[in-house]
């Protein structure tokens, strides 16, 4: 199979919101690996939840970072944040239920089965024991995920940001959870048909905000989450091209904006 390297000298592959879809992620990686020395992969968070194979996605991301060192960037999504809240020593039933009801129950089933435990309902597991079924290297990986990544041309966050402030000056919860910049850009595009007047310098790249009509791609802002549309997108920034890995399919499909 030919490798997808649309940019001659450097490719920046962006993969948003995997949500445990290990087969689709492997399809994508089969087309872009091995990376050349200047290529990068940037994951936009939400590796887990909604699918019991979430733990396998985490395994794969950890292995990728070990193999490619600084060429694979994984930032934290709100689902990783919810898991950490749910297993923290100061957890409470509200945080536990919030995670479980937002797809965490599927992640927990996967971790239980990984441990050889099969239950009729993941809710039968004592919430204070959940952390015992998650491998220590997974928990450490979740805790160490940065909440943003920045290059000379791009700002990567999972949720959103204030485009006029330095990322390191912003509340991490905004970077992980915020939807306001996506809603703002979408509104401007719907009203005026373009977004050329935006004054910030670097292009902001996010996931998290997926809707049935997503993604949203403009010169200064990109929202690439396609999980609601039931496919995993890989988008290469220098060529502005992409491929879709559709759930249950064995071949990638060219992405058309």
CA distance 14 to 96: 30
- pLDDT at residue 208 in the model: 95
CA distance 18 to 57: 8
Q: Confirm whether 6 is domain-assigned.
A: no
Which among 1, 134, 159, 146 has a CA at the least distance from the CA of 65? 146
Q: Confirm whether 151 is domain-assigned.
A: yes
40-54, 120-134, 192-206, 240-254: least confidently modelled range: 192-206
Q: Confirm whether 5 is domain-assigned.
A: no
For residue 70, CA distances in Å to 67, 73, 84, 131, 248 come to: 9, 7, 24, 29, 31
Asked if the model's pLDDT at residue 92 lies above 90, the reply is: no
Q: Confirm whether 86 is domain-assigned.
A: yes
CATH number at residue 246: 3.60.21.10
Q: Confirm whether 3 is domain-assigned.
A: no
What is the number of structural domains in the chain?
Answer: 1
Are 233 and 17 in contact, with CB atoms under 8 Å apart?
no
Give per-residue pLDDT as tens, 144-175.
999 999 999 999 999 999 999 999 999 999 99
Q: Confirm whether 21 is domain-assigned.
A: yes
Q: Confirm whether 146 is domain-assigned.
A: yes
Domain that holds residue 167: 12-254
- pLDDT at residue 196 in the model: 65
For residue 182, CA distances in Å to 86, 124, 229 come to: 27, 38, 17
Please count the other Cβ atoms lying within 10 Å of the Cβ belonging to residue 152. 6
At 228, the pLDDT band (50, 70, 90 cuts) reads confident
Q: Confirm whether 1 is domain-assigned.
A: no
CA distance 31 to 236: 12
CA distance 242 to 253: 9
């Amino acid at each position: 199979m030919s490798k997808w390297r649309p940019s001659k000298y450097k490719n920046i592959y962006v993969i948003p919101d995997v949500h445990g879809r290990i087969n689709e992620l492997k399809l994508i990686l089969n087309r872009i690996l091995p990376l050349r020395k200047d290529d990068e992969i940037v994951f936009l968070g939400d590796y887990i939840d909604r699918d019991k194979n979430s733990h396998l996605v985490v395994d794969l991301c950890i292995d990728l970072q070990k193999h490619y060192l600084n060429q694979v960037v994984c930032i934290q999504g709100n689902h990783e944040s919810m898991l950490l809240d749910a297993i923290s020593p100061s957890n409470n039933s509200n945080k536990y239920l919030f995670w479980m009801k937002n797809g965490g129950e599927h992640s927990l089933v996967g971790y239980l089965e990984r441990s050889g435990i099969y239950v009729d309902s993941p809710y039968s597991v004592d919430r204070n024991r959940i952390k015992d079924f998650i491998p220590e290297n997974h928990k450490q990986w979740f805790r160490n995920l940065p909440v943003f990544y920045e290059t000379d041309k791009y700002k990567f966050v999972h949720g959103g940001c204030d485009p006029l402030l330095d990322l390191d000056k912003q509340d991490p919860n905004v970077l992980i959870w915020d939807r306001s910049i996506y809603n703002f850009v979408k509104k401007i595009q719907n009203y005026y048909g373009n977004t050329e007047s935006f004054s910030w310098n670097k292009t902001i790249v996010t996931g998290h905000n997926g809707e049935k009509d997503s993604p949203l791609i403009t010169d200064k802002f990109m929202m690439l989450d396609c999980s609601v549309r039931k496919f995993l997108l890989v988008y290469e920034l220098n060529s502005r091209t992409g491929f879709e890995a559709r759930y249950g399919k064995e071949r990638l499909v060219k992405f058309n904006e």
